Amino acid sequence: MVNKQFLGYALLLLALIAAPFLGAYPILVIKLLCFALFASAFNLLLGFTGFLSFGHAAFLGSAGYAAGHVMKVWGWTPELGLLAGMVAGAALGGLFGLFAIRRQGIYFSMITLALAQMFFFFCLQAPFTGGEDGLQGVPRGKLFGLLDLSSDLVMYYVGLVIVVAAFLLIVRTVHSPFGQILKAIKENEPRAISLGYDTNRFKLIAFMISAGLSGLAGALKTEVLGFATLSDVHWSMSGSVILMTLVGGLGTLSGPLVGAAVVIALENKLGEVGNWIAAVSGIEWFKSLGESVSLVTGLIFVVCVMAFRRGIMGEIIALRDRLRAKR
Amino acid sequence: MEIFGRPLSAMLSQLLLGLVNGSFYAILSLGLAVIFGLLNVINFAHGALFMLGAVLAWMGLEYLGVNYWVMLFAAPLIVALLGIVIERLFLKRIYKLDHLYGLLLTLGLTLVIEGVLRSFYGVSGLPYSAPEALSGATDLGFMVLPNYRAWVVLASLVVCVGTWYVIERTKLGAYLRAGTENPRLVEAFGVNVPLMVTLTYGFGVALAAFAGVLAAPVIQISPLMGQNLIIVVFAVVVIGGMGSILGSILTGLGLGIIEGFTKVFYPEASSTVVFVIMAIVLLFRPAGLFGKEK
């Protein structure tokens, strides 16, 4: 069974390596991969420690601004830019964590949301973010001063390597003794405490890892697209990443990847889907579906919570287990 | 007359504005607390239903010619009915699950409600003026008091104190508090708890809609007007703690006033001051000012 899983990931990786030659636009794919990494980092926190952070946009966005600023204004090389983004995300995560882990459950979500909103207003007013216009024209630069990233194809493969490495790190974290302790805290915190674990420290570290990897995703996004904007720090981005994880499958490793693909595709293709429905059903209203992204995401949220809590990959895994049990 | 280099009249008018905002915080956090107490759901849709109250007031005048005073009662009633439908259709089925699903479900409902209204009215503001009886201002000698703002503060206080009285001093309120403590035991005594839960949700969201109608003439009405407000109210709830009704009212009003003063002395921080206070309170009293540590 492990082999089959491995085969699945290998096929996905092969497809991603071949994607630019199969007609996929590399920048779109790498943007999708950034969100897949973002959702995986988010899921590391929610799925494996049970903390619903409603402020992850702040980590994605702060890293985007940090990476953009050091590369554009200070002329740092891309690898240092990515590192700066990751550090910015992790540091902000540590700061948020100091406040947020003092409360549990639903309060944790509200506190992270409020802190992220505070950070949003900070970004709106701070001079280096460019306010409403955002940070524009970030140069891609040369990796280690050698490899020119201005070619989309080179950028794509560098980005792919980074995302795959980060994903492997997440897999490793989940299966490490550290990951097991996180699971123990999720299942029964008082027992974990009585076993002698300083649970607050573990929670804070998990929060910082998740924030740092979200930061990496944000920095890579800025590196690829060349800009960082306020929409990345807005709370609706935190909502998006929750939706990706929920649709893909909470607490599964592959779920966030699938979820990110579904949600991003939906946001980009909703207009076309609407036109198609309008053509088939003859109802004019559907033609404006492309402008109602929030309405559709809201409906998906409702459907997921009411009837589809395991998400796509969660359902597949459950189906597989049921079939295996019959055999 | 000046205080700390700022004219007194400017301070007083900001104080009043702060009280107006504080009234909205108080009503909204009160509703959130009542709902959370019995349903264990953080109602993210509270902001959207606040907005719906304001939009209904506007729609009443625009399409039916129904005036402000009628809508002040009709809009909360309509929103309460909608709330009852939401509770019966959706919330009822997820009480046994983790709290986070309640938040996610109501977030989804928020996006749906806002999305529907956006597809009709866009995001630009809809104009709505205060009723004639309350337009104009009264000169108090030391400041000019806009009548409508005074009315908002007064009406909110009456509603908040009334809610406090019902919950803390009547038999119905006693059932409610008992239901918050131990719903199964209360049910065993023959109280119809599911009905009580449904009506509580209806009442909580009706409060939000009432605040929405009150806000209609002073805030730009738009489908997105509830979004930023609900996040501030979450911070208010974290600061006050959800343990006490009076606590939510006082916290809401107090934070509104602090926000008003921040606008006078350091306007750049006026949008973040509530969040900063939240962070400070978390450091010293993690359970909130009026909350009890479990």
**Closest CA of chain B from A106, distance in Å:** 6
Looking at residue B107, what is its pLDDT?
92
Residue A283 predicted with pLDDT over 90: no
Q: Are strands B6-7 and B2-3 parallel, antiparallel or unpaired?
A: antiparallel
Q: Nearest residue of A to residue B117 by CA position?
A: A295
- The answer as to whether A54 is a domain residue is yes
Going through chain A in order, the beta strands assigned E by DSSP cover 142-143, 147-148
Whether B111 sits inside 8 A of A297 (CB atoms) is yes
Looking at residue B27, what is its pLDDT?
93
**Averaging pLDDT over each range in A5-9, A92-96, A97-101, which range is the top one?**
A92-96
- The answer as to whether A10 is a domain residue is no
Looking at residue B2, what is its pLDDT?
67
Residue A132 predicted with pLDDT over 80: no
**Closest CA of chain A from B116, distance in Å:** 7
- The answer as to whether A16 is a domain residue is no
Chain A residue numbers touching B235 (CB-CB < 8 A): 110, 114, 117
Cβ–Cβ under 8 Å, residues A101 and A201:
no
Mutation pick from B100, B262, B294 vs chain A, by most beta carbons of A within 10 Å, is B100
Looking at residue B15, what is its pLDDT?
86
- The answer as to whether A76 is a domain residue is yes
Chain B residue numbers touching A126 (CB-CB < 8 A): none
Q: Are strands A147-148 and B6-7 parallel, antiparallel or unpaired?
A: unpaired
Q: Which two tokens stand for residue A261?
A: 């693909």
Higher pLDDT, A227 or A149: A227
pTM of the model: 0.89
Cβ–Cβ under 8 Å, residues B44 and B201:
no
Whether chain B has a CB inside 8 Å of the CB on A306: the answer is yes
Residue A225 predicted with pLDDT over 60: yes
- The answer as to whether A3 is a domain residue is no
**For residues B240 and B278, what is the distance between their CA atoms, to the nearest angstrom?**
9
Which of A153, A71, A107 is CA-nearest to residue B240? A107
Whether chain A has a CB inside 8 Å of the CB on B286: the answer is yes
**For residues B93 and B49, what is the distance between their CA atoms, to the nearest angstrom?**
21
**10-residue mean pLDDT series, chain B (294 residues):** 71 86 92 86 92 92 87 93 93 85 92 89 81 78 81 92 90 86 86 88 94 90 88 89 83 91 84 88 84 63
DSSP, residue by residue, A32-43: HHHHHHHHHHHH
Looking at residue B78, what is its pLDDT?
95
Chain A residue numbers touching B118 (CB-CB < 8 A): 292, 294-295
**For residues A158 and A143, what is the distance between their CA atoms, to the nearest angstrom?**
9
- The mean pLDDT value for A3-23 works out to 80
Chain B residue numbers touching A105 (CB-CB < 8 A): 99-100
**Closest CA of chain B from A278, distance in Å:** 16
* Angle between helices A199-225 and A26-49 in degrees, nearest 10: 170
Looking at residue A241, what is its pLDDT?
92
- The answer as to whether A132 is a domain residue is yes
**For residues B221 and A263, what is the distance between their CA atoms, to the nearest angstrom?**
30
- The answer as to whether A117 is a domain residue is yes
Number of domains in chain A: 1
User: What distance separates the 2 farthest-apart alpha carbons in chain B?
Assistant: 64
- Interface A–B counts its CB contacts (< 8 A) at 120
Q: Nearest residue of B to residue A304 by CA position?
A: B105
For residue A7, what pLDDT band results from cuts at 50, 70 and 90?
confident
**Region of poorest pLDDT, from A136-150, A177-191, B85-99, B260-274:** A136-150
Looking at residue A177, what is its pLDDT?
93
The gap from C-alpha B284 to its chain's centroid, in whole angstroms, comes to 26
Cβ–Cβ under 8 Å, residues B160 and B249:
yes
- The answer as to whether A8 is a domain residue is no
Whether B231 sits inside 8 A of A121 (CB atoms) is no
**Closest CA of chain B from A101, distance in Å:** 10
Looking at residue B293, what is its pLDDT?
57
For residue A2, what pLDDT band results from cuts at 50, 70 and 90?
low
**For residues A300 and A109, what is the distance between their CA atoms, to the nearest angstrom?**
20
Residue A1 predicted with pLDDT over 60: no
Whether chain B has a CB inside 8 Å of the CB on A305: the answer is yes
- The mean pLDDT value for A60-66 works out to 92
For residue A73, what pLDDT band results from cuts at 50, 70 and 90?
confident
Give the one of B98, B119, B282 whose C-beta lies nearest to A295's C-beta: B119
Please give the residue range of the domain that contains residue A46: 25-326
Looking at residue A83, what is its pLDDT?
92
What is chain A's mean pLDDT, rounded?
A: 86
- Domain holding A98: CATH number? 1.10.3470
